[in-house]
Amino acid sequence: MSAHTGIVLFGLAFLVAASAGAAPLTLPDTSYSYTVVDQDLPAALQEFGTNLGIKVNVSPEVRGRIQGRLPELRPRAFLDRLAAMFNFEWYYDGQVLYISAVKESQSRLLVLAPIGFDQFKIALDALKVADDRFAVVPAPGNGLVLVSGPPRFIALTEQTLAGLIAEEQAKPKPGVPAPAKENVLNVFRGTQVSIWRNGRLEQVIGPDPRIEASRQPRGDDDPGRSSHSPVPASLHPF
């Protein structure tokens, strides 16, 4: 597996791990008694989350005041009632309950290639990003998809699609041969290095030891020594 493929698969695994905890908002089935006389809406929503042990992120665009007593409702019905009264949407990603104004709702036309709509939809369902209240609609030709909903939902659908495309692009393509492995051999001879690549000499680094040897002075060329044997002295008769 190449380093690029490893990075892509690691990125997708991180995305799956980050989203795998996402699940439909599960709230108690008992009545939620909450007495309000006059309270700021974001503060009431934060207190709702605190009472039920849920992290709540309220958009600055969500405004209003709750005045008067609300009827006792189950927590889900209480949240939906406030949403209808104050025109906001909520989306739970498994960790945080995101609350945004309806006017913040977005629509995106996403390019699916090189994956198909069914593959995209299965991934959204598996990661529990999908929500029946928000649209994920294929466009004609199965190459585009329209998603609509609050900002957090749109962000997760885009991240899921990006991860699927990156994973698909990292897969080896059929019929494309893998690059041939190069065979590199370094041959050391004294201070000289010869580099052979795939059986062919590519480069020689350093002096040729044979040339260096030929440049060394030879013993019989020593000027202090004669190249001939000494001639014995002549014997003269008395």
Q: In this structure, which CATH number among 3.30.1370.120, 3.40.50.880, 1.10.1200.10, 3.40.50.300 belongs to the domain 104-170?
A: 3.30.1370.120
Query: Can you say whether the dihedral through the CA atoms of 10, 14, 16, 20 is positive or negative?
Result: positive
Name which residue leads in pLDDT, 200 or 10. Answer: 200
- Region 134-143: mean pLDDT is 86
Residue 131 has pLDDT above 90, yes or no: yes
Q: Where are the domains of the chain?
A: 3-102, 104-170, 184-215
Q: Decide which of 3.55.50.30, 3.30.450.40, 3.40.640.10, 3.40.50.720 is the CATH code for 3-102.
A: 3.55.50.30
* 221 or 125: which leads in pLDDT: 125
SS3 51: helix
**pLDDT (mean) for 104-126:** 93
Query: What pLDDT, on the 0 to 100 scale, is given for residue 152?
Result: 96
Counting Cβ atoms within 10 Å, is residue 113 exposed (0-12), middle (13-18) or buried (19+)? Answer: exposed
- Over range 9-36, report the average pLDDT: 54
151-188: pLDDT as tens digits: 999 999 999 999 999 998 888 877 666 666 667 666 66
In eight-state DSSP terms, residue 129 is -
Per-residue confidence at 28, pLDDT binned at 50, 70, 90? confident
20-34, 119-133, 159-173: which has the minimum mean pLDDT? 20-34
Q: How many CA atoms lie within 13 A of 10 on its CB side?
A: 7
Determine how β-strand 200-205 pairs with β-strand 88-92. unpaired
Provide mean pLDDT across the span 196-212: 67
Q: Is the pLDDT of residue 88 over 90?
A: yes
**Predicted pLDDT at 174:** 75
Give the per-residue pLDDT at 204.
Answer: 73
**pTM of the full structure:** 0.63
Residue 21 is predicted with a pLDDT of 37
Model pLDDT, residue 107: 95
18: closest CA among 135, 159, 112, 162?
A: 159
The more confidently predicted of residues 16 and 66 is 66
- Please, what is the Cα angle at 202 between 196 and 208, to 5 degrees? 85
Q: Do the domains 3-102 and 104-170 sit in the same CATH topology, yes or no?
A: no
Quick one: what percent of the chain has pLDDT higher than 90? 42
CA end-to-end distance (rounded Å), the chain: 103
pLDDT at 6: 38
Residues 52, 54: Cα–Cα separation, whole Å: 6
**Radius of gyration (Cα) for the chain, nearest Å?**
40
Range 195-216 average pLDDT: 66
In angstroms, what CA-CA distances link 101 with 26, 38, 59, 96?
A: 22, 21, 7, 16
Q: Is the pLDDT of residue 73 over 90?
A: no
Bridge partners of 147, per DSSP, are 108, 136
